[in-house]
Chain A
Amino acid sequence: MDETLRELVSRSLDGDLDDVESARLEERAKTDAELAKEIDAARHLRGAVAALSARMEPPASLDKVMEPLRQSAPATPQRVRSSFRWLGAAAALVLGVTVAVEVARRNPEPTLTRPPHARPRPAEDRREVFELSPLPTARPEKNRPLGAADHLLEEELLQPAAPEPPPLEVMGPLSTDETQAVAIEAPRSTRTKRVSPKGDGAETKVLEPLDSPTVREGFAQTEASAAVTSSASPKTNLARTDEDRQTTAGETSTGKTERPENAGRRQVMEAGIVIRIGGADVWTGRSVTCQEGTWLVRIEVRDNTVVMMEPIKGDAESVDDGGCRPDDLIGSILAGVSDGIHIAEIVVSSDPK
């Protein structure tokens, strides 16, 4: 058999012949017994080699040429040798099972299977019954151990309730030029004393009609106008006693830290504090330690007492130490200042006038 015919037979085994070549080979095989036998033997041998690949190691030189083929296996998986496919599948299976077992071991989930000792639940007993117990903080009980937070809550709950504020006495509108004296309770704060203008020792508050000149003047006060409504000497109306000042200093001088913006500002020991309205000193006092400076505040005066003081700008925001904060000056009794809102100047210095 010549070389060309042998190649045609080989190609016919692999389906490499076109229709014309295939037809011619078949026609010739019908009349050529030797060719027919050659085709049959080649087909038999081809099957044997295919079976052989399952139990025979591939040629050594194939390791090099098969490497790129294995790398492209995902694109042409049908081309990879079956043994390699089985090997890959087995490795993937082992890896998957290992991961699954490990995940299940680390994240145990409640099983739905009934334990063997559990009796089957009757059909009418399908509902779950939950018993709600009160929260630990709902009803503090002496005999029950409480946590740290519960302890704090318990203390708060056991504190006596604050007394009810006295009922306000409602009065009708006052007519022009009418005044009315109303007795009021002494303030709880130990910082201030309220002195009756009458000097009889009773603590009273003088209410003036809305259209009175004093009230109108109070309403007219704005941030831009720091009008002085009284020029009485502040020295005769010292707001705080020594005891008051000590209390204030003790409250505010502990635990305070200087703000960064105060860096460079001098701290004044036994600082003198002056509240000045319209250039007149209406209150003087002392504190243990304050930051030296001057700042503007907006104050509200009721019954000669400072009931509100808030900083406007400047140094007021940085003065936060030693009882010199605006809040610390609330309760101070000013001398001859009418009720209303005023713009005041607070001066802290080592040598107050």
Chain B
Amino acid sequence: MEDNGDFVVRAPDPAPGPERQVVSSDLLDRVTAAMEELPEHYRVVVWLRDGEDLSYAEIADVLDLPIGTVRSRLARARSALKKAVGL
């Protein structure tokens, strides 16, 4: 949903109740570029969690990984993404 160049999105959780954020199109472009540069195993866990809204347990089941690995891998992926985006 586009509104004056910005995207109004619903954050996939975490807190109780939906959370709305305004994400600029510039940020989206940067995130897109950063996602494409991420290693595949990082990109997958980020996508499953934030794009598909899977829980840690579901990601662990889908990827056949321990749930602790999912937690740590997701934290590293987000850190790398943040770094690539420049936040």
Contact = CB atoms under 8 A, between A and B. Distances in A.
A58 B72 CA distance: 21
A61 B62 contact: no
A10 B74 contact: yes
Contacts of A62: 44, 47-48
Interface string A43-80: 11111111111111011011001101100000010111
Given A10-B74, A11-B75, A51-B9, A81 B31 contact: no
B37 interface: no
Contact of A15 (B13, B43, B46, B87): B13
The CB with the most chain B CB atoms within 10 A, among A53, A58, A66, is that of A53
Contact of A49 (B14, B15, B35, B54): B35
Contacts of B14: 12-16
A241 B72 CA distance: 122
Contacts of B50: 46, 49-50, 53
Nearest to B56: A16
A155 interface: no
Chain B, interface size category, equals 35 or more
A16 B47 contact: no
A77 to B, nearest CB: 12
B57 to A, nearest CB: 10
A66 B61 CA distance: 11
A3 interface: yes
A43 B51 contact: no
A288 interface: no
Query: What is the predominant secondary structure among interface residues of chain B facing chain A?
Result: helix
Contacts of A78: 53
B71 A56 contact: no
Interface residues of A, number: 40
Contacts of A47: 9, 11, 19, 21, 23
B28 A51 contact: yes
B75 A58 contact: no
Interface in B18-66: 19, 21, 23, 27-28, 31-32, 35, 40, 43-44, 46-56, 58, 62-63
Nearest to A9: B75
A76 B23 CA distance: 28
Contacts of B81: 45, 49
Contacts of A42: 78, 82
Contacts of B7: 51
Contacts of A59: 40, 43-44, 47
Nearest to B31: A48
A79 B51 contact: no
A79 B53 CA distance: 6
Given A45-B82, A47-B21, A79-B53, A56 B62 contact: no
Contact of A52 (B35, B49, B74): B35
A261 interface: no
Query: Which 10 A-B pairs have CB atoms at the shortest separation, nearest pair first?
Result: A53-B51, A15-B14, A47-B21, A10-B75, A51-B9, A7-B75, A49-B50, A41-B87, A48-B31, A51-B7
